[in-house]
Chain A
Amino acid sequence: MDKLNKAQWTFLQHLAVQAKSRSSEEAVAIALVRTRHQFGDNFFLSDAQVAMAHATAAEKMGAPSLKAARKVLGDRAAELGRSPEQLLSQVRTGLEQLVTLLEERAAPPASAKSQIDRALAYTPSKADQQDLARLVAAPRPDGDAIMEVLARSPGIAALFDEWIGTRETYSIREHSQMVHAQLLEQAPHYPLPAVPGVDLQRLFAILPALHDIGKAAAVELGDTKLQHGFTVPLLEHVLVNFGFNPKEIKMAEAIVEHDAIGNMVAGPNKDAKPEDAKAELDAVAAELGVPPADFFKIKVLFFVIDASAYPLLREDPEGRFFVRDAAGKISPKDPRFAQLSGLYEHGAHPPRSTAPGLP
């Protein structure tokens, strides 16, 4: 086989990516356009054909059982009084009948809720666990690779493809990738505290992929506020299966479930007060047994990477939502955020009990 040039390999890579979600015809067309975009219009269809023929030939060379199968198939066809070509043609017809029957029997596309159930029933293999442990321990974790390991669960893979239900049409996979990118950018500006028994670096490496994993089920029900009811059980299931300890799981749930900062700066209540947000945050910190100021730092980092992941907010032409300083640190613009930070910096109100009926 002739060697392929760089453009042809690039074409095959584009083709493999596109073929995951499109028909073969569309995938080839798009791969061709993208390759031309990179290498110029002198990448012709004939170059693409050579690349595809190369790939097909490579496949055939890698099929050691093919010759034996061919021989037995020839004998089998002779027994049946048919030529091998006739036999293969009849098998194709039979396969078409089979797949048509299966399509007729197939249920309508699975709901997001059923994908959550599917994901909850999935247990990762030892290799999956080892792969993820290695990835989340990296100094600059690879978000795509982490999501790829998680997506070995078919239910999670399906949930990643669901729509996130915001004004901007992103899949959960895309939004999670954006959050991860913000994590890599903003984490140096928001040092995390040391929390005994909790490896926050490891936790933050996996949270972007999972923090909205149940959102599609809530979108299905028409109320995104219900998302935590779907996200948290699956988050817990995944973290348990990948060896996170109970304290880390509790912390993960607290990070994802409570959004006192977001509710204050972007919630429907325009009169929300920093003191109320602090009381809510401190109550959760008390449950976790973490100093309130430390928990606040953790929540701020997660809020910033999640909210600033939306280009609509981060790149708002009027700059209404975030400010970015000269060093690149992004902070919420709402003055109440600075007030809330001030409450932690200067020490203030003790945690307010959330138990009803108590003074």
Chain B
Amino acid sequence: MGAGDGMSTPTLLLALEALAAESGLVGLGPSRIAVGVRGQREQWWLAECGPNARTELLEERPARCDFQVLLGSREAEALATGQFPEDPQLLLARGDVRLFRRLVDRLRPKTWLELRVDQSK
């Protein structure tokens, strides 16, 4: 089964779980950020950033998020190939996009620790 068939966990959400674990979410300000994919049912990835950071895969939309974005399964699949459509059919976002920007920046290849070392040189 593939990324967006609506039954298994979407590739995007698994990748977010792996990327967040690699990059760490501790240094980000306290916030709840959720990414959802709607196939035959909705599945969500939740990141609680801040000192007690944690992530979670959920079967329903988490409450009280500072930022949340829901993609269609087609959009999520396209994203996972590095080709997010310019005119997505399903893209719903709510909240402060700056928080999502901080998270995405954090998930870049270099870890924040490496970035700090670079900054100090």
**Residue of A16, A49, A97, A152 touching B84 (CB-CB under 8 A):** A97
A123 to B73, CA, bound (A): 32
Could you say which residues of chain B place their CB within 8 Å of the CB of A98?
69, 71, 79, 84, 91, 104
- A25 partner, pick from B66, B71, B119, beta carbons under 8 A: B119
B9 neighbours in A (Cβ, 8 Å): 69, 72
B28 partner residues in chain A, CB cutoff 8 A: 19, 24
Are B117 and A59 touching (Cβ within 8 A)? no
Q: Count the A-B residue pairs with Cβ separation under 8 angstroms: how many?
A: 160
Count, chain A residues at interface, CB 8 A: 53
- B81 close to A52 (CB less than 8 A): no
Whether the Cβ atoms of A65 and B15 lie closer than 8 Å is no
Q: Once the chains bind, are A69 and B27 in contact (CB under 8 Å)? A: no
Q: A29 contacts which chain B residues (CB < 8 A)?
A: 119
* Contact stretch, chosen from A88-96, A201-209, A325-333: A88-96
Known: A94-B84, A102-B93. A25 touches B104 (CB 8 A): no
In whole Å, how far is B3's beta carbon from the nearest beta carbon of chain A?
Answer: 7
B27, A27: Cβ atoms closer than 8 Å: yes
Q: Which residues does chain A contribute within 8 Å of B96, judged by CB atoms?
A: 154
A20 at the interface (CB under 8 A from B): yes
Contact between B112 and A73, CB atoms less than 8 A apart: no
Complex interface residues of chain A between 45 and 70 (CB less than 8 A to chain B): 45, 48-49, 52-53, 55-56, 59-60, 62-63, 65-66, 69-70
Contact between chains at B29 and A19 (CB < 8 Å)? yes
Pairwise interchain contact A28-B14, C-beta atoms closer than 8 A: no
Contacts of A103 in B (CB 8 A): 97, 101
Contact of A189 with B by CB under 8 A? no
Would you call A49 and B113 a contact (CB within 8 A)?
yes
Interface residues of B in 13-29 (CB under 8 A from A): 14-21, 24-29
B83 interface hit (Cβ, 8 Å): yes
Chain B hits for A59, CB < 8 A: 21, 24-26, 53-54
Is A21's CB within 8 Å of the partner chain B? Answer: yes
CA distance A88 to B14 in the complex (A): 10
Chain B neighbourhood of A21, CB < 8 A:
29
Q: Is the CB of B12 within 8 A of A91?
A: yes
Q: Does A99 contact B (CB under 8 A)?
A: yes
Q: Does B111 contact A (CB under 8 A)?
A: yes
B18 and A88 contact, CB distance less than 8 A: yes
A99 contacts which chain B residues (CB < 8 A)?
97, 100-101, 104
Q: Check if B38 is an interface residue, CB within 8 A of chain A.
A: no
Are B80 and A91 in contact, with the CB atoms below 8 A?
A: yes
B82 — which chain A residues lie within 8 A by C-beta?
89-91, 93-94, 97
| Contact A45:B97 (CB < 8 A) given known A56-B111, A91-B80 | no
Q: Would you call B18 and A95 a contact (CB within 8 A)? A: no
- Judged by a CB distance under 8 angstroms, whether A258 is at the interface is no
Closest B residue to A16 using CB positions: B51
Q: Which of A15, A102, A125, A154 contacts B27 (CB 8 A)?
A: A15
Task: Judge whether B21 and A63 touch: CB under 8 Å.
Answer: yes
Cα(A45)–Cα(B118), bound, Å: 12
Q: Is the CB–CB distance between B19 and A92 below 8 Å?
A: yes
Can you pick out 10 interface pairs between chain A and chain B where the beta carbons lie within 8 Å of each other?
A: A16-B51, A19-B28, A49-B113, A73-B11, A87-B11, A87-B15, A87-B80, A88-B18, A98-B79, A99-B97
Residues of B near any A CB (own CB < 8 A): 2-3, 8-9, 11-12, 14-21, 24-30, 50-51, 53-57, 64, 66, 69, 71, 78-84, 86, 88, 91, 93, 95-97, 100-101, 104-109, 111-113, 115-117, 119-120
Interface residues of A (CB under 8 A from B): 12, 15-16, 19-21, 24-25, 27-29, 45, 48-49, 52-53, 55-56, 59-60, 62-63, 65-66, 69-70, 72-73, 76, 79-80, 84, 87-99, 101-103, 105-106, 125, 152, 154
Given contacts A19-B28, A49-B116, A56-B111, 18 further A-B contacts (CB under 8 A): A16-B51, A53-B113, A59-B25, A60-B24, A63-B17, A65-B56, A66-B21, A69-B18, A73-B11, A76-B11, A91-B15, A91-B82, A92-B107, A94-B84, A98-B71, A98-B91, A102-B93, A154-B66
